Chains A and B, each alone.
Chain A
């Protein structure tokens, strides 16, 4: 296992489809938390309904794939409304509690025995993504630059994911530089002040929850396409917390934060993983079994995040002055 292989593997993960999917979900979370100040601890719930939107529509009901996508988006909107309408009038902690609970309840419902005819229960759903890969316009074989290369199908999915990311970022930039975005950021700072100036904070918060949730749903739909096999237990609560870690790493409340965070995080995870594995297999670290590298990489990433919070709490692209304004 040489350095170049480790690096090229890390780069492949950092720009690969999974990273792009996390970027999409992080963009949504950034809308919620970074701009509006909504504590959404259930972004994985949006990903779940998004993934199953595609899978169930196609695999269970035989609908075309594009309709599956529409179902995904509709499910995310409904989930946002269900979460938001009862809780957004209350203090922000209520949303936090509800989101984490609802995401977990959704997972349990989707894997339950009674849901099996529709969702496949614990076995999930398979073979619903063929139409997507049939539409692949790229030539067959592996494509890439130097040692970084992808299979044709992987590249096709990556391309679509990153195009979605680009579209999402463009929308985000337009929105956040508009009067709408100003009200949203005002709500993050002080909701009562915004209400006292004649703005209906509740409606704005609901719009933000729906819009950010749609990105979560979109990320879920892309997970479904990427794996072509989804089960409920892929949508454990820790996915949400990875997203939070990535967003904080990149920089909360910035356009590029949710892009840079996941990319760097996936790069580091693979780098640590491959390096540890390489060291273990060559016997440099005799006390380390190859199977230990998985947990250990997370420990190392944890240390990295702690250092980040201490020395760069604004994230990689955040503004330190803004970050520390309320800490006096």
Chain B
């Protein structure tokens, strides 16, 4: 099923979001993530000010916006890597605001980073094994009792090898991660996040710095994830990629969500065009007003 789904098939996308209005802060039929009133400012600059945002389960949702729109800050807030000034949000019905990053990850919401964070002096396989959840040998005293965790370790190794094979990294398993190319590190980071068995992955610019040949394979992995039921939220700049694979697009500018909708809705949305290209001074639209409100 997953291999048949060509990235960019528009019908597939529209089915998944049936019954959702393409408007800012719209309610989703089956939201996995619900957020209200998230605010974060750095000094006088309000980096994020999102009134309401929902993410539909088992879809690919893209978060786009011009540079400095607050996408990465919102990512950091949602995943517990930064502390919000205000706001409540819940993941799978459980409040996760003010929860530390590692606990958010244990809830099943796993993120990757814009600048890839491969653990360079660990081998590819060690990178994978590290991510496995609930390891008995991970506790200080547990580490001394090898018999406690060798069985678990073998099972994790098997799962890690399956994932590595899927991402075509299995031949590299004993190489140190620092020897991988930039694109391979992106693949490794994605594979590693799957070791945590997440129900939602948050990908911060997964295609940045990846050569075009590898982009296609990354896209296939992302759509395959969705087709297996994992929710994907990703930040990206490449419009072709975004329009091709997203089921839903959330557009941010100056910390706010300015539009939401299917790729077709976004393409023709004038707020979005304003935000990206700048509003004309002779015909002031909302984009121009927001700029005046800004700091």
Q: Do A and B share a complex?
A: yes
Please give the residue numbers on chain A whose beta carbons come within 8 Å of chain B beta carbons, in ascending order.
171, 174-175, 178-183, 185-186, 188-190, 192-201, 207, 211, 321-322, 325-326
Contact B129 A179 (CB under 8 A): yes
Chain A residues near B129: list those with CB within 8 A.
179, 182
- Of B130, B142, B192, most buried by chain A (CB within 10 Å of CB) is B130
Contact B126 A182 (CB under 8 A): yes
* Bound Cα distance from A201 to B101, whole angstroms: 10
A164 to chain B, nearest CB (A): 17
A91 to chain B, nearest CB (A): 14
* Bound Cα distance from A87 to B119, whole angstroms: 23
Chain B residues near A175: list those with CB within 8 A.
140, 143-144
Instruction: Let me know if B176 is at the binding interface, CB within 8 A.
Output: yes
- Of A178, A211, A326, most buried by chain B (CB within 10 Å of CB) is A178
B156 to chain A, nearest CB (A): 9
Known contacts being A174-B143, A178-B149, A322-B176, is A196 close to B79, with CB within 8 Å?
yes
Contact of B153 among A179, A185, A195, A322 (CB under 8 A): A179
B287 to chain A, nearest CB (A): 34
* Bound Cα distance from A117 to B125, whole angstroms: 57
Chain A residues near B118: list those with CB within 8 A.
190, 193
Contact B178 A183 (CB under 8 A): no
Contact with A along B124-149 (1 / 0, CB 8 A): 00110111010111111011101001
B129 to chain A, nearest CB (A): 6
Known contacts being A175-B143, A192-B117, A325-B176, is A197 close to B192, with CB within 8 Å?
yes
* Bound Cα distance from A69 to B150, whole angstroms: 35
A244 to chain B, nearest CB (A): 20
- Of A171, A193, A199, most buried by chain B (CB within 10 Å of CB) is A193
Contact of A325 among B103, B113, B121 (CB under 8 A): B121
Chain B residues near A201: list those with CB within 8 A.
102
B115 to chain A, nearest CB (A): 10
B242 to chain A, nearest CB (A): 23
* Bound Cα distance from A111 to B112, whole angstroms: 51
Contact A180 B119 (CB under 8 A): no
Contact of A180 among B112, B121, B140 (CB under 8 A): B140
Closest Cβ neighbor of B197 among chain A residues: A198
Chain B residues near A185: list those with CB within 8 A.
119, 121-122, 126
A213 to chain B, nearest CB (A): 14
Contact with A along B53-83 (1 / 0, CB 8 A): 0000000000000000000000000010100
Contact A190 B137 (CB under 8 A): no
Chain A residues near B179: list those with CB within 8 A.
321, 325
Contact A196 B111 (CB under 8 A): yes
27 pairs, CB–CB < 8 Å, chain A vs chain B:
A175-B144, A178-B142, A178-B143, A179-B129, A179-B138, A179-B143, A180-B139, A180-B142, A182-B122, A183-B130, A183-B138, A185-B119, A185-B126, A186-B127, A189-B119, A189-B122, A192-B117, A193-B117, A198-B106, A198-B133, A198-B196, A201-B102, A211-B140, A322-B121, A325-B120, A325-B178, A326-B178
Known contacts being A186-B119, A194-B130, is A178 close to B176, with CB within 8 Å?
no
Closest Cβ neighbor of A208 among chain B residues: B140
